[in-house]
């Protein structure tokens, strides 16, 4: 690690009431100034020209992870990451991320063959994407997955030279903001005027100190300008951004130095975040000055088109944006800061914390439900509602939580805005839509009691048994014609004895009432899967009751239930008796003699019209 001290430091600075005189110093480890024999006399404004020199100092430091997301483009200068470097950009933009040498920036890259990227653990690049470190070394302590250019050197001890920096930066960040536990005395004022925040210095102090306990954003969270006035030439400007969550959303800072007065403060301006676990840098400006984020559990999300200065975080960094070309540009910090010595400063106030909880209940009974799984997310990206994906998501807090027997998931967190997101439900319940509960606003006023939300689950509609039709078709055994008027009982096999038993101590079970076949000769019942019998109890007129009069078994299963099962029951016609017959005779005789007479002719008529005679 290159260490370079600032030449020509002022012998002493008076930093406010309660503070003793302190020797001016650079950032810990000599961080900040350009390092090496090839440093330019002056760093040029943002450009895409020839190299103006070489800088072997660290430009970006992450004490935890560094993530590349969205359409982030490049990080100029040396980058040191104590844990993992993870690159997974959005589809639709460039699949490349440059590190070390940038196409546009100060154009003062590290020397040829220097360590452009150092990681203590793994480097992961998503499929189809490329991390470019041509001309330099990529030194890593874990594994490399994906496409990485440059000279790759595996070194399990890669991060060892830089491990102490993490604690040193945390201590320094607190020291710059506080002396013996009290805020460092401000030398000027910062006023958020809505359209801009105006910083007014005292006009004389070599160290201009501003303590800011609000976001640099408009009233509705939109962009605003950043303006400094009454700042002496060559003074160091220290802005302490106080609070556990802070956002800078600005359009200030230009590509051409002459277009924005903010650019003039670039190399002597430090933005210090001593308390923020969430730090957001958003807007459309070319942000000017160096950044120090002290908390080791912090996440800094950078989506500005340009950061022009060093960026040192003891926590993690996410470089992301929906717009193309967002970049870190390598510019030194040459300011004169208080020398905090070897003793850590007095502690700052503990962050206000409280419990954020979700209570899972049955929507119908109100009973607590165990076994539901929830994620807790903090609102960090400045966009209303919860975003869990894309280029600039909100931040998940901790691991997945499973509700206990009281139906509760709870976490103790710093003040902020939170959402519970349900990802899995107990057996027998439906995942709600939407499955996000919140926002829950945890503030200093309500932190003692915490905040809660109830998440209700609706039981699933339990599927009924699989059913299908069991049918009998009644036909004439000789002609095949359908027969109406036959009567059947449907019985289910329930007693475990083969065949149908309709009486005795343990009969099978009759299903429904007697059914009479319709004009199509059918009886039909819709029933659950099982084994069934049709039993014929009465036949149409002119037919004989079959023996046996039981038809089955019919096996209705899940496989055949859709089409159902049926059996044909054939009836045989009875032998029909002929009509009763007898002789009807007439005897023809002579009326006088009584003798039989042949040759007479007669017609025989049957009484059919119901009229006598």
Domain ranges across the chain: 58-186+269-329, 353-457, 467-571
Asked if the domains 353-457 and 467-571 are classified in one and the same CATH topology, the answer is yes
Which tokens is 260 given? 């924005």
CA distance 328 to 334: 18
Cα 34 to Cα 3, 74, 335, distances in angstroms:
9, 19, 12
Say if residue 9's pLDDT is above 50: no
Superfamily name and number for 353-457: Immunoglobulins (2.60.40.10)
User: Strand, coil or helix: what is 49?
Assistant: coil
- pLDDT for 584 equals 84
Whole-prediction pTM: 0.59
User: What value does the mean pLDDT take over residues 548-571?
Assistant: 93
pLDDT tier, 1 (very low <50, low <70, confident <90, very high otherwise): very low
Contact indicator for 109, 330 with CB cutoff of 8 Å: yes
The rounded distance, in Å, linking the Cα atoms of 63 and 169 is 9
pLDDT at 346: 43
Extract the tokens encoding 418: 């939170």
pLDDT at 349 > cutoff 60? no
437 bridge partner residues: 420
Question: Which DSSP string corresponds to 79-127?
Answer: EEESS-EEE-PPTTS--EEEEES-SSBS---PPTTSEEEEESS-EEE-T
> Which CATH number describes the domain made up of 467-571?
2.60.40.10
Residue among 300, 233, 232, 251 at smallest CA distance from 271: 300
Q: Which of 328, 255, 265, 298 is nearest to 59 (CA)?
A: 328
What is the longest distance spanned by two Cα atoms in the chain? 182
Q: Look over the chain and give the mean of its residue pLDDT values, rounded to a whole number.
A: 89
pLDDT band at 464 (very low <50, low <70, confident <90, very high): low
The whole-number pLDDT of residue 88 equals: 96
pLDDT tens, residue by residue, 45-79: 999 999 999 999 999 999 999 999 999 999 999 99
Residue that the structure tokens 């975040």 belong to: 273
More confident residue, 548 or 5: 548
Nearest Cα neighbor of 332 from 27, 24, 73 is 27
Confidence of residue 597 (pLDDT cuts 50, 70, 90): confident
Instruction: Give SS3 for 30.
Output: helix
**What are the backbone dihedrals phi and psi of residue 485, each rounded to the nearest 5 degrees, phi first?**
95, 0
CA nearest neighbour of 235 among 262, 201, 199: 201
Q: Which two tokens stand for residue 117?
A: 């990227």
What is the distance between the alpha carbons of residues 544 and 465, in angstroms, rounded to a whole number?
Answer: 38
Q: Binning pLDDT at 50, 70 and 90, where does residue 577 land? A: low
- Tell me if 560 sits within 8 A of 468, measured CB to CB: yes
Residue 14 has pLDDT above 60, yes or no: no
pLDDT given for residue 5 in this prediction: 28
Distance CA 32, CA 267 (A): 9
Query: Cα 254 from chain centroid?
Result: 36
pLDDT at 591 over 50: yes
Q: Is 451 left (phi over 0), alpha (psi -120 to 50) or beta?
A: beta
Is-contact 309 290, C-beta < 8 A? yes
The answer to whether the peptide bond before residue 553 is cis (omega within 30 degrees of 0) is yes
Res 181: pLDDT: 86
Cα–Cα distance between 475 and 570 in angstroms, integer?
Answer: 5
Coil, strand or helix at 361: strand
What's the whole-number mean pLDDT along residues 563-576? 86
Residue 233 in this model has a pLDDT that exceeds 90: yes
């Amino acid at each position: 690690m290159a260490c370079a001290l600032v030449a020509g430091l002022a012998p002493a600075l008076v930093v406010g009431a309660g503070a003793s005189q302190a020797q001016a110093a650079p950032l810990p480890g000599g961080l900040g100034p350009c390092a090496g024999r090839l440093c330019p006399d002056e760093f040029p404004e943002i450009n895409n020209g020839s190299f103006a020199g070489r800088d072997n100092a660290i430009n970006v430091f992450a004490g935890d992870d560094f993530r590349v997301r969205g359409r982030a483009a490049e990080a100029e200068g040396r980058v040191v990451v104590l844990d993992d470097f993870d690159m997974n950009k959005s589809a639709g933009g460039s699949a490349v991320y440059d590190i070390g040498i940038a196409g546009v920036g100060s154009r003062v890259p590290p020397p040829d063959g220097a360590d452009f990227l150092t990681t203590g653990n793994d480097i992961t690049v998503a499929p189809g994407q490329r991390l470019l470190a041509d001309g330099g070394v990529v030194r890593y302590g874990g594994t490399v997955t994906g496409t990485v250019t440059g000279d790759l050197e595996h070194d399990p001890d890669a991060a060892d030279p830089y491990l102490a920096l993490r604690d040193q930066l945390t201590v320094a960040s607190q020291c710059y903001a506080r002396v013996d536990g009290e805020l460092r005395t401000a030398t000027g004022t910062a006023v958020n005027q809505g359209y801009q925040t105006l910083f007014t210095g005292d006009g004389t102090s070599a160290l201009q100190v501003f303590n800011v306990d609000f976001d640099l954003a408009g009233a509705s969270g939109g962009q605003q300008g950043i303006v400094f006035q009454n700042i002496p030439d060559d003074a160091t400007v220290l802005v302490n951004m106080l609070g556990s969550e802070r956002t800078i959303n600005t359009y200030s800072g230009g590509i051409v130095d002459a277009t924005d007065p903010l650019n003039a403060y670039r190399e002597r301006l430090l933005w210090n975040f001593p308390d923020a676990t969430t730090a957001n840098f958003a807007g459309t400006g070319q942000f000017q000055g160096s950044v120090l984020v002290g908390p080791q559990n912090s996440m800094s999300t950078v989506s500005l088109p340009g950061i022009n200065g060093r960026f040192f975080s003891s926590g993690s960094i996410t470089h992301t944006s929906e717009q193309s070309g967002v970049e870190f540009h390598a510019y030194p910090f040459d300011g004169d800061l208080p020398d905090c010595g070897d003793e850590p400063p007095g502690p700052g106030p503990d962050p206000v914390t409280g419990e954020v909880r979700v209570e899972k209940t049955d929507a119908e009974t109100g009973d607590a439900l165990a076994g539901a799984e929830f994620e807790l997310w903090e609102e960090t990206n400045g966009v209303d509602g919860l975003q869990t994906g894309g280029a600039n998501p909100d931040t998940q807090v901790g691991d997945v939580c499973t509700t206990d027997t009281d139906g509760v998931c709870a976490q103790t967190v710093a003040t902020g805005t939170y959402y519970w997101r349900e990802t899995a439900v107990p057996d027998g319940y439906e995942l709600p839509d939407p499955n996000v509960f919140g926002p829950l606003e945890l503030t200093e006023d309500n932190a003692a009691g915490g905040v809660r939300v109830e998440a209700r689950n609706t039981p699933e509609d339990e599927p009924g048994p699989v059913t299908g039709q069991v049918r009998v078709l009644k036909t004439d055994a000789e002609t095949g014609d359908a027969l109406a008027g036959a009567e059947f009982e449907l019985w289910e096999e329930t007693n475990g004895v083969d065949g149908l038993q309709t009486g005795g101590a343990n009969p099978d079970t009759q299903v429904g009432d007697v059914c009479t076949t319709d004009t199509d000769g059918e009886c039909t019942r819709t029933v659950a899967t099982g084994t069934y019998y049709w039993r014929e109890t009465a036949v149409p007129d002119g037919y004989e009751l079959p023996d046996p009069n039981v038809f089955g078994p019919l096996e209705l299963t899940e496989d055949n239930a859709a089409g159902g099962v049926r059996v044909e029951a054939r009836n045989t016609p009875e032998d029909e008796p002929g009509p009763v017959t007898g002789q009807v005779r007439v005897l023809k005789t002579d009326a006088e003699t009584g003798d039989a007479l042949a040759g007479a002719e007669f017609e025989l008529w049957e009484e059919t019209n119901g009229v006598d005679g």
